Amino acid sequence: MTARRALKLIHVVSTIWFVVCVGYVFVLKLLEERFKWWVIFSLSGQSAIVISVLISVYLFALVRDMSGTQQIQVEHPFTSTHYYMGFYVAAPLLGGLAGVFGMIGTGELSRYVLGGIALGTLGTTFCVWVVLDPVIGLIEMLLPASRIHRTERLARAEVERKARQEKRDKLLADAVAREKQERERWRQLLQPEAQRLAALLTDDAPGRHAEQEAVDIGAHAWHLGGLNCMRQLRDMAMAISGPTKAADFISYWWDGIGDWRRPSLD
């Protein structure tokens, strides 16, 4: 078994043991009060703080364990070693073991389990994960080699971020330029059809023939560039024809061509 797999296994076992101890303390307190409903409500206020702290301890340790900066050996020469990581993830187990030896000679079983094993686990876990580990990490970050490497790493990260941003900006600018070129090409190709469509709009009595011709014009625009092309052609025709009551005929004539849908009457 590799060291990494062993650490993961110890971490899983320690997490399970930590949760069991938290559950044991909580359930024991309820049993001592014989599940009185008013005690449960009072516990919801006091124990909520304790439970929140315990959950925060575990989440802090989990985030810390997943943090990539903790794996940089130059910046964290001590806490990145397998020996320290083994001690770190095994803190709940070590706390329980210390509680076993610390309460030897205690006659009452519940006091032995609660005061020794459970509270020893919770106390050791809190001290190691919340107090000791951040202090050691802070000391490591203050070392000269760690500070130099961190400064260089952040500088490289900033350069890479700016390079990615410039690449995104360039791609966006290229996309905008291509869209402008495409629209200009559509404008040149569709200018005669826009004039013909404007003439159909201004016709005093547009009939079946005008509708069929408008459909053919719309279908051609759809095949040329899709919905955006159809919208540009309509705008061009509207600009040529000017305000007219028949302007909305285009939306109805083109209904069903590709993705074009006529506006709702609601």
The candidate with the shortest Cα–Cα distance to 214, out of 199, 229, 236, 232, is: 199
Lowest mean pLDDT: which of 47-61, 84-98, 193-207, 226-240?
A: 47-61
> Long-range contacts: 42-46, Cβ < 8 Å, 24+?
none
Mean pLDDT of the chain: 79
The rounded distance, in Å, linking the Cα atoms of 231 and 204 is 24
Measured CA angle at 225 (ends 223, 226), to 5 deg: 75
Q: What percent of the chain has pLDDT over 70?
A: 73
Predicted local distance difference test score (pLDDT) of residue 230: 92
Q: Is 221 left (phi over 0), alpha (psi -120 to 50) or beta?
A: alpha
pLDDT digit string, tens, across residues 79-124: 888 888 889 889 988 988 887 776 666 556 666 666 678 888 888 8
Please, which pLDDT band fits residue 244 given cuts at 50, 70 and 90?
low
Predicted local distance difference test score (pLDDT) of residue 12: 84
Residue 57 has pLDDT above 60, yes or no: no
Helices (H), 132-143: 133-142
Q: Is there a contact between 124 and 98 (Cβ–Cβ < 8 Å)?
A: yes
Predicted local distance difference test score (pLDDT) of residue 70: 47
Predicted local distance difference test score (pLDDT) of residue 125: 86
Average pLDDT over residues 226-242: 88
Residues 6 or more apart in contact with residue 10 via CB below 8 angstroms: 86, 89, 90, 93
Average pLDDT over residues 161-187: 93
Predicted local distance difference test score (pLDDT) of residue 69: 44
pLDDT digit string, tens, across residues 142-171: 889 888 998 999 999 999 999 999 999 999
Average pLDDT over residues 234-260: 79
Predicted local distance difference test score (pLDDT) of residue 46: 52
**Which tops the pLDDT comparison, 264 or 182?**
182
Q: What percent of the chain has pLDDT over 90?
A: 19
Predicted local distance difference test score (pLDDT) of residue 41: 47
Q: Is there a contact between 76 and 157 (Cβ–Cβ < 8 Å)?
A: no
Average pLDDT over residues 212-232: 90
pLDDT digit string, tens, across residues 8-52: 888 888 888 888 887 777 777 666 656 554 555 455 555 555 556
Residues 6 or more apart in contact with residue 61 via CB below 8 angstroms: 88, 129, 133
